Chain A
């Protein structure tokens, strides 16, 4: 899903990652699940003195992270998360990955077991562009945020902002902060969406905690 070029280190950090980092207290302990090439972790380490760890599946991305001086483990997030003791982290981040998870309920429960807070973001499937595609064209929607055909997508779940709120009630975790955002073509810039977020936002972002 992270189809964003990370070649330009000078470019501002992805807009959603900037919001995530604004929620994180300096010098806290952070686990980033599916950390990619470590853009967020690198920022948090150097700007917020955070003690960060990442988990990433791809060997090449893990190697990039370690070369940058980040602590990252190669592995599957669903398996790796189980090894950590309770409350090992202040924040556990699941950025733009929830839609690829096979057992989201199990993962969210594990996330709130090992972390005081969870930060979860995902592409909002009820954005009006997606709704209109399905309504008018009749094909499975393809958007900038979800740029795959039905047969080659890693995104096995469609989630909307309203769905996630419902999920929190059913699972019994608390939503402590919620932000809906709209981003530009490279996701580098964006703005917060105030009203009708479930229609207008490209991403939903949530800070969650135990009840």
Chain B
């Protein structure tokens, strides 16, 4: 996912918010991972917005994408230059209305924004895990989120919502803890990565691992593999846009020059944009986390994990009501992948809705202001709430 964080044009916001931290799975109760290794203690960074009602029946769990964090909405202080990453969707009167719902979001394990990941200190050695961090899966991330739910005393989730890698966690929640999830909104996502998606991830990982500063993942006390990570991010940004989006946004326009420079300093606007995105990204993200999380995304395959290769069999476990949304210009997780999951839901008699939103901005569309998407989510959640009350 890209960063599209702007202030709400109407200045509507949940206001000041606070990042919280909880630690569990202290040895000897370390969490068993899908790889067979175990991890513990596990720290989870999370934020909440709105009030939980007495019946604890208004919980909406937001799940972030590859490079997101727990900071969905609001500001940390009065001078904060930008709000959380989905401030356009989460807030008073917004698509996910914090006047009605208690919204929770946590940073996934393996990431670097407060939850345990490769840049965390390994309690056995006192230095960062680096490549000694165990490989984690989407299922492991969801298991850690379940522990957070237990910690908050939440047994029923009104809705799990997320796009891209967040959408994978949505699906995982529905199959791993089917009785906890009343409804689910997977956006711009897939039940398994295509070869194309794996290929992009692999090129991005190779860019990091080819950076001499990467040093097999041990770089926390020296120079960081910023060149590799920036290139990885540039590749990511290509996949988040689309042919059309790039044509409209950049075309063949040159960056602050009238003619070619006849060297390699960068001529085109699109080059300048990608370099800028890459340079900005290395300031906030850890290269090892990028490796671990893209690996988790590539391993994700609910058809194999829950259905012996069949999506229909996999979704036979689900109990949630679904709203699936795809975007026309998303070539990372194209509409046919959403339709395949809808097909499996239909064959299982699940209550499902599907809308393909016309959007020219590619995979990132779910993060951008979109009145249609907000209205869909608002209407869907209100109905789920009504049906729950009935």
Interface residues of A (CB under 8 A from B): 51, 53, 59, 62-63, 65-75, 80, 83-85, 88
B346 located at the interface, meaning its Cβ lies under 8 Å from any Cβ of chain A in the complex: yes
Q: Mark B188-216, 1 if CB is under 8 A from A, else 0.
A: 00000000000000000000000000000
Report which of B355, B375, B378 forms a contact with A74, defined as CB distance below 8 A.
B355
What is the chain B residue whose CB lies nearest that of A68? B379
Residues of A close to B386: CB separation below 8 A: 69
Complex interface: chain A residues within 8 A of B352 (CB): 71, 73
B351 within 8 A of A: yes
* Bound: A74/B323 CA distance, A: 11
Complex: A76 Cα to B323 Cα, angstroms: 18
The answer to whether A63 and B372 touch (CB under 8 A), given A74-B355, A74-B356, A88-B349, is yes
What 14 additional pairs, Cβ within 8 angstroms, besides A62-B355, A74-B355? A53-B351, A59-B355, A59-B356, A59-B358, A59-B372, A63-B355, A63-B372, A66-B323, A68-B379, A68-B383, A69-B383, A73-B342, A74-B354, A85-B349
- Contact among B346, B349, B357, B380 with A69 in the assembled complex (CB-CB below 8 Å): B380
Q: A66-B376, A67-B378, A84-B346 are in contact. Are A72 and B353 (CB under 8 A)?
A: yes
- Given contacts A63-B372, A66-B379, A85-B347, is CB(A71)–CB(B358) below 8 Å? no
13 A-B pairs in the complex with CB atoms less than 8 angstroms apart: A51-B351, A63-B355, A63-B376, A66-B355, A66-B376, A67-B375, A68-B379, A69-B380, A72-B354, A73-B342, A74-B356, A85-B347, A88-B349
In this assembly, does B382 line the interface, its C-beta being within 8 Å of a C-beta of chain A?
yes
Cβ-closest chain B residue relative to A52: B351
Chain B: interface secondary structure? helix
Contacts of B357 in A (CB 8 A): 59
> Is there an interface contact between B376 and A83, defined as CB atoms closer than 8 Å?
no
Q: Is the CB of A69 within 8 A of B382?
A: yes
A75 to B343, CA, bound (A): 11
Band of interface residues on B? 20 to 34
Closest to B375 in A: A67
Q: Give the chain B neighbours of A69 by CB distance below 8 A.
A: 379-380, 382-383, 386
Other-chain contact of B354, A68, A70, A73 (Cβ < 8 Å): A73
Binding site for A on B (CB under 8 A): 321, 323, 339, 342-343, 346-347, 349, 351-358, 372, 375-376, 378-380, 382-383, 386
**Chain B residues, Cβ within 8 Å of A75:** 339, 354
**Cα distance A85–B346 when bound, in Å?**
8
CB-CB < 8 A to B358: which residues of A? 59
User: Given the complex of chains A and B, what is the CA–CA distance between A75 and B339 in angstroms?
Assistant: 9
List, in ascending order, chain B residues with CB within 8 A of A59's CB.
355-358, 372
Q: Bound complex: CA of A203 vs CA of B49, how far in Å? A: 53
Chain B proximity of A90: nearest CB distance (Å):
13
A86 to B386, CA, bound (A): 30
Nearest CB of A to B321, in Å? 8
Tell me the bound Cα distance from A69 to B381 in angstroms.
8
Min CB gap B360→A, angstroms: 14
* Complex Cα spacing A209 to B5, Å: 55
Chain B residue nearest to A62 (CB atoms) is B355
Cα of A62 to Cα of B358 in the assembled complex, Å: 12
Residues of A within 8 A of B354 (CB): 62, 72-75
Q: How far is the CB of B153 from chain A (nearest CB, A)?
A: 29
**Selected contact of A63 from candidates B342, B347, B375, CB within 8 Å:** B375
B356: which A residues are within 8 A, CB to CB?
59, 74
Closest 9 CB pairs of A and B: A69-B383, A67-B379, A83-B346, A73-B354, A83-B343, A62-B355, A71-B353, A66-B353, A67-B375
B347 touching A84, Cβ below 8 Å = yes
Nearest Cβ in chain B — how far from A130, in angstroms?
Answer: 37
Complex Cα gap A59–B335 (Å): 13
Measured between beta carbons, the chain B residues less than 8 angstroms from A53 are 351
Pick the most buried of B321, B323, B357, B379: most chain A CB atoms within 10 A of its CB: B379
Residues of A within 8 A of B351 (CB): 51, 53, 71
Of all chain B residues, which has the CB nearest A45? Answer: B383
- CA–CA, A88 and B347, complex, Å: 9
List of A residues within 8 angstroms of B376 by Cβ: 63, 66-67
B323 / chain A contacts, CB cutoff of 8 Å = 66
Which residues on B sit within 8 Å (CB–CB) of A84? 346-347
B residues in contact with A71, CB < 8 Å: 321, 351-353
Give complex CA distance A51, B356 in Å: 23
- Which residues of the other chain, B, contact A66 by a CB distance below 8 angstroms? 323, 353, 355, 376, 379-380
